[in-house]
Chain A
């Protein structure tokens, strides 16, 4: 990882940041294995340069960008966000990135575009989770946002954290960060972005649609069918084994910013 310059961005929390070592060693990135420590062990083999991102679908200016060109016009900001995993743990991470809205305005989506889809790299040679008989998910990993969610100022494309470029296990070289949704929405190592009219099917939704919905907003009132979402364990908080659970906040504490996006919607049905 190399050092990254970034100015302080808005929306940052002043809660204590999670230890960098924990954020680097405790990951869900099934392309590198489904164990929490698999990504840290296996992701070093990933080649992140050169890297290109194909942007297409319902846009006026479809293009395949080299990562450098994608980043050239961007002003990098540090955003210290809470991250809440659907599994019931959370972290506070100082991301470095830029608003996804900036990129969206550059490619000029057509009026018919209602959703944005994202895809992660498929490269079995370098991603052991994509090799062999036992593959947990159907690749490529796919995620999606409603266009207004994607354009929300909280939503960023991140290229770094803790003052440096992203480690591979955290989604290098380019990942999404949507802090009011469960972590799996924040797709890693993005190679494709497309604008579409119909609500896309996402990977976890296809895997188990009764457990993982398209929206997947952090919501302590709506339990995962197999576990409660009312509380969470903040990684590194307390002293190891004695870490206490803390209440999970609606929209992960970003309700003031994003609740309006869902006005009038039944969040129990649209989980």
Chain B
């Protein structure tokens, strides 16, 4: 972290930034994104609908909670895959990366809301005790808290205000959020499942891709 950004920096701001005072005003709802938001949020909405109609089996709350968390992790992985995909000659999805990131944030937010309101019934002392005493919940909460400033600064105004360099540095925290999310998933299980191992491996691979692309570390250069 902290090295000079290079032209091929992997956490560059979205390339479709409008110029200051330019005509088209770009909100966080970029072109084509509405459809992606609708599509991306549909599994969560559908699961919630099934839950309301008692279609989620014996422990509907747990299914809803897990489904929302899993989609948050999935969209983090998809977002992290955008640059590697382009580099290995795949399609360039950079214009959708912000949408993937925000979908991850929304799912994480819903996941936390379900945990706080439905699972723990707003029992503040139980929730605080959980966060302090349970490493997997501490780690999950860290992942969520990292996503908050990233979501807040995901619009064009904030990118301009922060400047590209600072924005990049801030948004590199998504690496930590993804790692924490994958770890949170593995730690909450009684045994490591194939699914949890798959996401951990995916995140590890995507983060390793970032390291390989970097210049060799030179302690004499600052």
Contact = CB atoms under 8 A, between A and B. Distances in A.
Interface in A26-58: 26, 30, 34-37
B119 to A, nearest CB: 8
Interface residues of B, number: 32
A136 B193 contact: yes
Given A226-B136, A243-B61, 8 more contacts: A22-B57, A36-B57, A86-B190, A134-B197, A137-B191, A228-B130, A241-B118, A245-B121
B120 A228 contact: no
Contacts of A34: 189-191, 193
Of the listed residues A30, A86, A137, A235, the one surrounded by the most CB atoms of chain B closer than 10 A to its CB is: A235
A260 interface: no
Of the listed residues B58, B130, B188, the one surrounded by the most CB atoms of chain A closer than 10 A to its CB is: B58
| 8 tightest Cβ-Cβ pairs between the two chains A and B | A26-B58, A22-B58, A136-B191, A240-B60, A241-B51, A235-B58, A240-B54, A134-B194
Interface in A87-117: 87, 89
Contacts of A134: 193-194, 197
Contact of B120 (A30, A87, A245): A245
A64 interface: no
A57 to B, nearest CB: 29
Given A240-B51, A245-B121, A226 B58 contact: no
A26 B57 contact: yes
Given A228-B126, A245-B121, A25 B57 contact: yes
Contacts of B59: 26, 36, 89, 233, 235
B187 interface: yes
The secondary-structure label for the interface of chain A is loop
B52 A240 contact: yes
Contacts, number: 74
B148 interface: no
B61 A241 contact: yes
A241 B191 contact: no
A207 to B, nearest CB: 7
Contacts of A12: none
B207 interface: no
A181 B60 CA distance: 25
B143 to A, nearest CB: 16
Interface in A215-271: 223, 226-228, 230-231, 233, 235-236, 239-245
A25 B58 contact: yes
Contacts of A37: 57
